[in-house]
Amino acid sequence: MTSYGTDLIIILPELIVVAAACLVLILDPVTPRSRKELLAWISLGSLALCIGLTGGQIGVMNLPLSAFSDLVVVDGYARFWKLLLYGVTGLTILMSLPYLKIEGLHLGEYYGFILLALSGMMVMVSGADLLTIYLGTELMSLSLYVMAGLKRSSPRSLEASAKYFVLGAFSSGLLLYGISLLYGLTGGTKLSTIAGALGARGFDDPMLLIATILLTVGFGFKLAVVPFHMWTPDVYQGAPTAVTAFMAVASKAASFAAFLRVFVEGLGGLKADWSMLFTLLAVVTLVLGNVVAIVQTNIKRMLAYSSIAHAGYALIGLVAAGRGAGESGGTSGIASVMLYLTFYAFMTLGAFAVIAMFRKGGLEGDEIEDFTGLAKRQPLAAFIMLVFMVSLTGIPPTAGFIGKFYVFMAAVEAGLSWLAALALIFSAISAYYYMRVVMLMYMREPEATAAEPSHLVPSPALTIVLACAIAGVIIFGLFPTPVVNLALQSVLLLR
């Protein structure tokens, strides 16, 4: 019994989040419409508790703990991702406060779903067993399906939800199929069991190849890497902007975390083979994401393709880990993925927050043209967007550059200079579409139409989000050392 109690203490952050989610759902019907914000504050409070717990563990003793007979593991790696996820979720909730009001979505369960999705993500990053990870993935995805369709009056939102659900369910099925094949081959679903059974034998069994591909496809959908990206632009465009930000950042981070753990801890023996597969995926993702983003006219679609491209950059880090894992254990590659997604989180979240700020009655605010002449009307907002665009392009001194620097460094270390060069050339191409936003904001005169919002006054909550995001982008761009060291301490070892 005592061990069961310890187990519960180990997963205390997850319990807190789930409890808060339930509390929000219970309180929702009895909260009057004007007081729905209370639910958001409850959610934020639970996040603060979790940050304290997980952050405290990192500060005091960053030892790996496992619970429920090794179904769940709380190690430095999991804590790193959890901290990132808390931060992203908190900022999303703050962003949602004014956004939901403008959209006329007085739905308390929104916050409940965010917390449920978060708990799913937390299970994903902590899962040491394929089934645990699968459960986490489903909890996250099901919540996100609902959230994507929250704008019930908008056909686009409903379409996004339906599309996301159908494709997501399909990919989950493939993932499950892959897991079952692996179970058949190795006799277990625990990552350690799988790793032990596989050893370093490579693809000697065609079934193993099929299982690996199925897992890759299943995760590929969640990560939105080409060719499993088809849902991304439609869903990102249709979903409410705050939800899009949450999907683009949190769900991608959690999926990457689980993906890395499965392939590093479970299938590490096949690293020579999967790194070849992922090289191919990374290249097509970079090419397609960056090239298709150029022709977009809707900024949410553009950021959708940009997020696809960024998944490609992050994937390079994993490839580098697989290829370069000598005695270093692929440390720099895995750390570079962790850093990349951390920095990506800040800049993408910030960009979506600016878009959310544009949403006014009568103005959707998500066409790229809407940014025309912003520097004249709102110099500060334009400057903030400029910083995010610069960071997404990967130009110093922003966090985006540091993220790319570490990924390419890992790639060069692994002898993949050509891949780094290719990725950098595509990052120069990406400058074209990011800089187009800057060009419209700074170099075109605003059109004097009646629909123009004369004043974009961000609410206090949105101001906090923007301030945090821009501080993250600039501070991590200038002084990345603390977070770099944290990532290096928390990294998984690829043996």
Partner 1 sequence: MYLAHERHARAIALATTVVDFLVALPLWWLFDPSSSRMQFAEHVAWITSPPIHYSLGLDGISLPLVLMTAGLMPLCVLISWEAIVTRVRTFMAVLLIMETAMLGVFAALDFVLFYVFWEAMLIPMYLLIGVWGGPNRLYAAIKFFLYTLAGSVLLLVAILVLYFYGGHTFDVLALSQVTYPAALQNWLFLAFFAAFAVKVPMFPFHTWLPDAHVEAPTAGSVILASVLLKMGAYGFVRFSLPMLPDASQTMTPLIAALSIIAIIYGAYMALAQVDLKKLIAYSSVSHMGFVTLGLFVMNQQGIEGAVLQMVNHGITTGALFLCVGIIYERTHSRMIADNVGLAKPMPRYATFLVIFALSSLGLPGTNSFAGEFLVLVGTFLWSKAAAALACLGVILAAAYLLYMVQRVVFGVALPRELPHLRDLGLREFGILLPLVLLVFSIGLYPNPLVSRMHSAVTRTLETMARTKVAPNSHPSAAVTPTVVLSGQTQDDRP
Binding site for partner 1 (CB under 8 A): 375, 379, 386, 390, 395-397, 401, 405, 408-409, 412-413, 417, 420-421, 424-425, 427-428, 431-432, 435, 438-439, 442-443, 480-481, 484-485, 488
What's the rounded Cα separation, in Å, for the pair 76 and 343?
A: 18
Measured from the CB atom, is 149 or 480 closer to partner 1?
Answer: 480
**Measuring CA to CA, how many Å separate 385 from each of 34, 152, 432, 470, 477?**
31, 29, 15, 9, 16
| Minimum CB–partner distance for residue 61 and partner 1 (Å) | 22
| C-alpha span between 287 and 207 (Å, rounded) | 30
21 Cβ contact list (under 8 Å, min separation 6): 43, 112, 113, 115, 116, 119
Question: Cα–Cα distance between 305 and 426 in angstroms, integer?
Answer: 13
Beta partners for residue 129, in sequence order: 190
- Identify which of residues 40 and 440 has a Cβ nearer to partner 1 in the complex: 440
Q: Nearer Cβ to partner 1, position 55 or 396?
A: 396
Taking the complex as a whole, how short is the minimal distance between the CB of residue 214 and partner 1, in angstroms? 34
Q: Is-contact 312 398, C-beta < 8 A?
A: no
Closest separation between CB of residue 474 and partner 1, Å?
12
Nearest distance in Å: CB 417, partner 1: 6
Nearer to partner 1, 131 or 435 (CB): 435
Least Å distance, CB 341 to partner 1, is 18
CB of 420 to partner 1, least distance (A): 5
Q: What is the pairing mode between strands 65-67 and 72-74?
A: antiparallel
* CB nearer partner 1, residue 215 or residue 419: 419
Q: Provide the minimum distance between the beta carbon of 375 and partner 1 in the complex, in angstroms, as a whole number.
A: 8
Which uninterrupted H or E stretch holds 65?
strand 65-67
Q: Which is nearer to partner 1, 239 or 319 (CB)?
A: 319
One DSSP character per residue, 267-294 reads: SGGGHHHHHHHHHHHHHHHHHHHHHHHH
CA distances from residue 115 to 14, 129, 132 in whole angstroms, order as listed: 10, 22, 18
- Cβ closest to partner 1, residue 218 vs residue 472: 472
Which residue, 104 or 482, is less far from partner 1 as judged by CB? 482
Distance CA 300, CA 368 (A): 9
Q: How far apart are CA 414 and CA 336, in angstroms?
A: 13
CB of 413 to partner 1, least distance (A): 6
Cβ-based nearer residue to partner 1, 167 or 488: 488
Cβ 481 to partner 1 shortest distance, Å: 5
- Residue 484 C-beta: closest distance to partner 1, Å: 6
For residues 224 and 431, which CB has a smaller minimum distance to partner 1 in the complex? 431
Q: Over the Cα atoms of the chain, what is R_g?
A: 21
SS3 (DSSP) at 127:
strand
Residue 227 CB-half CA count within 13 A: 3
Q: By C-alpha distance, which of 314, 290, 304, 286 is closest to 433?
A: 290
Alpha-carbon distance values, 83 to 190, 291, 341 (Å): 25, 33, 13
